[in-house]
Structure 1
Amino acid sequence: MSLRGARGATAIVAMLAMVLAMTSCSSDDETDASRAVQSFAEAMSRQDTQGAADMTTSPSQAAQSLGVTFAGMHAKELSVDTGRLVEYSDGSASFSLTTTWTWSDKHTFETKTSGSARRLSSGWKVQWDPGLLYTGLTADGRLQEVRTDAKPAPTVRTDSGKPFMQMEPVNELTVNPATTKDLAKTVRALASSVQQVAPKVTVKSINQQLDSAQGQEVVAVTLRDSDMAMLDSDPSRIAGVNVHKSGMLVMSDRRLSTPLSSGITNYWNAIRDATAGWQVQLVTPGSAPQKLAGHQGGAAPDVNTTISPAQQLALGAAVVEVAQPATMMALDAKTGGILAMAQNDAAAKKNIDAGTAYPVGATLDPVFDALEGAGKAKDKSTVDSALNSLGLGLEYTIPGLSMPQGAKPRITAAAYRPKDFMASITSMAALGVALERAADGQDSAVAPFVIKGAESKVAGGELGKLDDAVVRQIREKMAATAKNGDASDITGAPGLRALVGTNGPQGPGWFVGSQGGKVFVVYCEGDRSGTAALQVLQKYFRVR
């Protein structure tokens, strides 16, 4: 070998030795560096912000970035796997991470990043870099997963297909006690600012919300853009008040108000949830969110209802005729479709709803008389079956109609002429419809409904075949009550049929009847509630 060749070979050997001294490829042997990186990855997988941050060279900065991203991504599961780790002779190492975010509906988002570690006096630590979470992420940025909804949002439509409720941009005016030095002054200023367009928002109402929230931010009022334009001053200039833009399902006709709106909104939200999408975004201050991944379903269909705005206006005017709690429902006599439902403020404060059962007192005496006359009062099972065929003694689940939260309607077991028999507004409505359907030649009752195409469900019995003899006797008594009995003072209602009664001097009082192809149920509480129910109905016939 020549001298030049020997020197070349020596140089190559020296270079290989240097590389081997600087670099050690990862192997199955666990090192301090690999243990540190693995501990960091495990803490990440637990979404343990502080635990992961403590394994880095900059715990405070790491905690900030990890915390906002964990919160923004709100993943059900997080899996962080470490890749090949390479150590260097200068006390550093490099590694790769595969991070997989998984949400409750099983959609996932995966990133592949690389990082480094350093040997410090306190041991090996991961060199903190926001890019460990996503390549290109900066210290002031974050990742977030957000829900997305297809546009346009579905419209809730009336029985004639016109808009009844629709999505509109709204402004949530919030009060945050932590951002004002004089909370009382803030509340007074906000109440004064919105008084012109929201007279029910008062110092008292805002303070009640603040007391319940125990120091947390509360939404004092939600205003449409048109309402905001009418304000004399900008509420956001009030210390402690913030204005948040959002969207809300609102009445197309601002004159309308109905307890049906909450149940319809729940149904509307449910169909939007079924078509909702998702998106993972890279958020950097001063820039629009950047989409990294996601999926969007198609737009949800419009919600078609049985509601008549004209009937809703009439019922709304009728229930305010009395000061005591009053609730009224109107239905199409042939189909059982709910045309309208209204209640006054007193009923709303008492949480009167369509699904809870209330005492009926003597209201249903004509029904029990008819059962006895037709030989249907032999035993409990016979009575139950006969009542069920008329829509009574059953539990209804009606899409678009809110039921009591956390409780089913209380239905007292039927027995012949029970003194404590109870019925809901819904079941009384079903009774009225059953009687009208029988007169129209139909042989069965139907469950009330408000969303077209969404089937109402019945529990606790079955809507069996109607008995002609029972129906005939009940309807005869109802006609007599309207002509010569307790409902005979009602005017402007030719052909009215009525069941009227109370559960004693303190009520409640009921009216269940039909006229002009519609069924009406009125429920009132308090002293002279039977008279109050008739007053509500009379007002309806005057304004309809």
Structure 2
Amino acid sequence: MTPSTARPHTRHRTRPAAGLAAAALAVVMVGSGCAALTGDTGADELQEFLSVLERGDLAGAAALTTDPAAAEEALTASVAGMGYPALSADTPDGDRRPDRDPVAVEFTWDLGGGADDGAEGDDDEATPSPTDTGSEAGPRSVTTSGQAGTVKVDDQWKVQWEPTILDSRLVAGGYLEYAELMDYDTDVLDRTGAPLMQWTPVTAVTLAPDAAASADAVAQLVSSAAPTITGQSIRDGLAEAGDQPYQVVGLRPSDIDPIREQLAAVPGVTLPERGDLIRTDRELSSPALNGLPNAWLEALQASGGWSADIINPDAEPIELGGAPAGEVDDLTSTLQISMQQAAQSAVDGSGQAASIVAIQPSTGGILAVAQNSAADQQGPVSLEGRFPPGSTFKVVTTGAALESGVVGPEEIVPCPAQITVSGRTIPNDDDFALGDVPLETAFARSCNTSQAVISDRLEPEAMKNTAAQLGLGVGFTVPGLNTYTGSVPVTERGPGRVEAAIGQGEVLASPFGMAVMTASLANNGRMILPELISGMPAVANDSPEPLPQNVVDTLRRYMVQTVQTGTATAANSVPGLGGKTGTAEVGNGPSHGWFVGSTGDIAVAALIEGADSSGPAVSMAANFLTSAGQPAPLAAG
């Protein structure tokens, strides 16, 4: 793979022109003695011009010249083109007589330090010369040499405006430009090596701020490629953009070419070209894809180069400095396109807001993240939602009880229709009663009353600590992904602990968090580190010890029993599946339905909001697992 030499996308680094007071003072002092010796020559006005320019006041600097309008336009073009860098100026030969002969002016453009930008000690680095290619991560700085003269206009000294003030090689209409050079040929692949996202030329369909009357015409033309865009959505976007142009949509060549001429004829429409990292399959949708462009960009920037050039009209660029981009290997995502499609199909089959998250226990690799349009209206709830997990949390409560020894794996526990524990009366669903039964049976049949009894024996931190051992309530920084696992409180003995024991009260979790919990249990009780991009595992804010193996084995046996004879028998056709159902009360509305489970090397969490039963979530998860199969091997990077 060869790094791209073209620049389909220029990304400027914006640096404030702050902290330059000392440099400005130094510039003012240079040549002041000469001004005193030569009399009134405009030297002080020239130094004021340079000082104001250093501060970033382009209009103020332009006002000190003989042609403020032309000067401001030209200065803005170059300073913006260089990414608004920190700028310092000097007159290395002194002021001499700028009214007689132009004096030399030297500008240093501090463009940032690449990966080391902002690191302590940068002030000690030598400034590269204009031809110094430097290192990819080192300081980025170039120097330009121009000349400036002064003239008296109506008894006031002015700087004689010429483009050559910034650089002697600049001509009218020319400007300076800084660009980051990156290996745009780098693709994002799925775990099988199939292209997932690629850099593609894109045409941005853009509408002027005052062109709301064209909204319906634009919507009609782009409807085949972007059916969700309407005239009203465009008008809403224009209103939000205020006095700025509004980008309606970015279209790939196959979409824009048939309608380009018609769009160009619509009043207020412009069609600028740019590049973008886009999905190879436009139908593929997932919150897990949203952060991949940022991760991709960071990888490219880490090996990125740069260039600074003089751009004159009808001429080849003149190089000021730069460094070539390094080659970047394709990024391999842990997602599997076929699994993502199966997950999306499963959630789309629900008439209510639905989410599925699937994770590979052995690696922590995220296999699929899907939510339907009803869930989309709430944001990325599959990854960051905050829901009571209901009885799926009994995996934690039972694990805490087994780990602390307050119950044994074969213990007989009561399962009455209702029970009052620590002042809180807990019923079973539909008030079913089993009498005294083995803990395994109470778990498989989801006896709330049994959980209330065993939770009353726990220490206040027990459920929180056991949840953390399985990653629930732990914070993860996952490259390319924003996530929330959940929150489990420390509960003193009383109603709060009883409620928490069955996943209610203050216990909250996202589908992602419940998938992490289930995958960690399937990983022999050792907390996984979720991963979206191969080789970039999450960083966790906690490092808990794994669950004891005997507790892991008991919980997994209970979960298999849940699928075979308990509340999840609708999924018993999935080979080797163990799981746990949950029905979580939400205020006065219908309850949420949950299912978590694992088989082979795949763990899944499924949520249907307002389903009023776990049954639909069980069926949705079973449909997904049947279609998805097992994860494919991860393609070599």
Which TM-score band (shorter chain)?
A: 0.7 to 0.9
CA deviation after TM superposition for structure 1 residue 318, in Å: 0.5
2:569 match: 488
Identity rate, percent: 29
Give the one of 207, 228, 238 matched to 1:175.
207
Which runs of structure 2 are paired with 1:144-183 in the superposition (5 Å)?
144-152=177-185, 154-178=186-210, 180=211, 183=212
1:98 aligns with 2:110: no
Q: What CA deviation, in whole Å up to 9, does each residue of 1:171-194 have, x standing for no partner? A: 11111124x4xx22x111111111
Q: 1:529 to 1:203 in 2, by over 3 A?
A: farther
Q: Which amino acid aligns with 1:479?
A: V
Q: What CA deviation, in whole Å up to 9, does each residue of 1:202-246 have, x standing for no partner? A: 112212211211232111111111122344853122111111211
1:309 aligns with 2:317: no
1:522 match: 606
CA deviation after TM superposition for structure 1 residue 339, in Å: 1.3
Give the one of 63, 74, 92 matched to 2:83.
74
Contact 2:148 2:160 in 1 (8 A): yes
* SS of equivalent to 1:111: strand
2:44 match: 35
Q: What CA deviation, in whole Å up to 9, does each residue of 1:312-332 have, x standing for no partner? A: 111111110112211111222
2:404 match: 375
Give the gaps of 5 or more residues in structure 1. Answer: 1-24
CA deviation after TM superposition for structure 1 residue 382, in Å: 4.0
1:139 aligns with 2:167: no
Whole-angstrom CA distance in 2 between matches of 1:288 and 1:483: 74
Whole-angstrom CA distance in 1 between matches of 2:225 and 2:404: 60
Whole-angstrom CA distance in 1 between matches of 2:604 and 2:89: 62
1:396 aligns with 2:465: no
Whole-angstrom CA distance in 2 between matches of 1:52 and 1:391: 58
Give the one of 594, 604, 612 matched to 1:510.
594
Whole-angstrom CA distance in 2 between matches of 1:272 and 1:165: 14
Q: Which amino acid aligns with 1:483?
A: Q
Whole-angstrom CA distance in 2 between matches of 1:429 and 1:508: 16
Whole-angstrom CA distance in 2 between matches of 1:96 and 1:400: 49
Coordinate RMSD, CA, aligned: 2.5
Q: Which amino acid aligns with 2:570?
A: D
Q: Which amino acid aligns with 1:429?
A: A
Q: 1:63 to 1:374 in 2, by over 3 A?
A: closer
CA deviation after TM superposition for structure 1 residue 409, in Å: 5.9
1:427 aligns with 2:507: no
Give the one of 241, 246, 251 matched to 1:213.
241
Q: 1:71 to 1:450 in 2, by over 3 A?
A: closer
Give the gaps of 5 or more residues in structure 2. Answer: 1-32, 114-138, 406-456, 492-496, 629-637
Whole-angstrom CA distance in 2 between matches of 1:306 and 1:61: 54
- Aligned pairs, number: 504
Contact 2:209 2:241 in 1 (8 A): no
**Which stretch shows the higher mean deviation, 313-322 or 251-260?**
251-260
Contact 1:508 1:524 in 2 (8 A): yes
Contact 1:331 1:337 in 2 (8 A): yes
Q: 1:187 to 1:310 in 2, by over 3 A?
A: same
Q: Which amino acid aligns with 1:98?
A: E
Q: 1:370 to 1:543 in 2, by over 3 A?
A: closer
1:330 aligns with 2:363: no
Q: 1:367 to 1:38 in 2, by over 3 A?
A: closer
Q: 1:243 to 1:476 in 2, by over 3 A?
A: same
**Which stretch shows the higher mean deviation, 468-477 or 390-399?**
468-477
1:248 match: 276
Q: Which amino acid aligns with 1:397?
A: T
Contact 1:321 1:535 in 2 (8 A): no
**Which stretch shows the higher mean deviation, 514-523 or 529-538?**
529-538
Name the TM-score, length of structure 2 as normaliser. 0.74
Whole-angstrom CA distance in 1 between matches of 2:395 and 2:486: 22
Contact 1:326 1:524 in 2 (8 A): yes
1:60 match: 69
Name the TM-score, length of structure 1 as normaliser. 0.86
Q: 1:517 to 1:475 in 2, by over 3 A?
A: same
CA deviation after TM superposition for structure 1 residue 527, in Å: 4.3
* SS of equivalent to 1:364: helix
Which consecutive segments of 4 or more residues in structure 1 shift more than 6 A? none
Whole-angstrom CA distance in 2 between matches of 1:333 and 1:490: 20
Whole-angstrom CA distance in 2 between matches of 1:541 and 1:468: 26
* SS of equivalent to 1:454: coil
2:488 match: 412
